[in-house]
Amino acid sequence: MLIAGRCISLFAMSLSDEFWMEEALREAQRALALGEVPVGAVVVSEGRIVGRGCNRPLSTNDPTAHAEILALREAGTAIDNYRLLDCDLYVTVEPCPMCAGAITHARIRRLIYGAEDAKAGAVHSMLQLLNHPKLNHKVEVSSGVLAARCMHLVQSFFRERRSEGDNDR
């Protein structure tokens, strides 16, 4: 019985992970429409979104305007606390070192991301900053949620940019 119950709750969790990742993908589409690298994030607390962010460093001339940072800022304002206790962050691509740092500062409970970022990912890929043994705060991490769609969005963006570059020549 216990095992069955655990299976059901894990199944329900992965279903809701996909549900919230769809919302993060919606934010990534917004970034794409702005001509930004299509990455999106949402912060979820007690079954509702308290912060959203779409990647926009180019359009704001702000190197810190990554989807995760903007979503964390909005969530902090919404819950009136810079510590985002009991909050989960969903993001379409593995966070970079800056965002991994912000996730730790915010005390995010769970990080759920879609695609790996081999070049800049600071969870598993390039660095393993999050959950570094010297950090006190531990974040539960799930990866690969709707990964193919998250990855496809970014790859098609860069493919298009490259082909535009070819046309310029």
Whole-angstrom CA distances from 16 to 9, 57, 59, 106 are: 10, 29, 32, 22
CA distance 122 to 97: 5
**Side chain identity, residue 63:** P
Nearer residue to Zn ion within complex by CB, 6 or 132 = 132
CB of 53 to Zn ion, least distance (A): 10
37 neighbors 154 (Cβ within 8 angstroms): yes
User: Considering beta carbons, is residue 21 or 96 the nearer one to Zn ion?
Assistant: 96
List the catalytic residues. 68
Residues that bind Zn ion (CB under 5 A): 66, 96, 98-99
Pair of tokens at residue 48? 């509702």
Q: Measured from the CB atom, is 96 or 146 closer to Zn ion?
A: 96
Least distance CB 138 / Zn ion (angstroms): 20
Residue 36 beta carbon to Zn ion: minimum distance, rounded to whole angstroms: 12
Asked if residues 46 and 109 have their Cβ atoms less than 8 Å apart, the reply is no
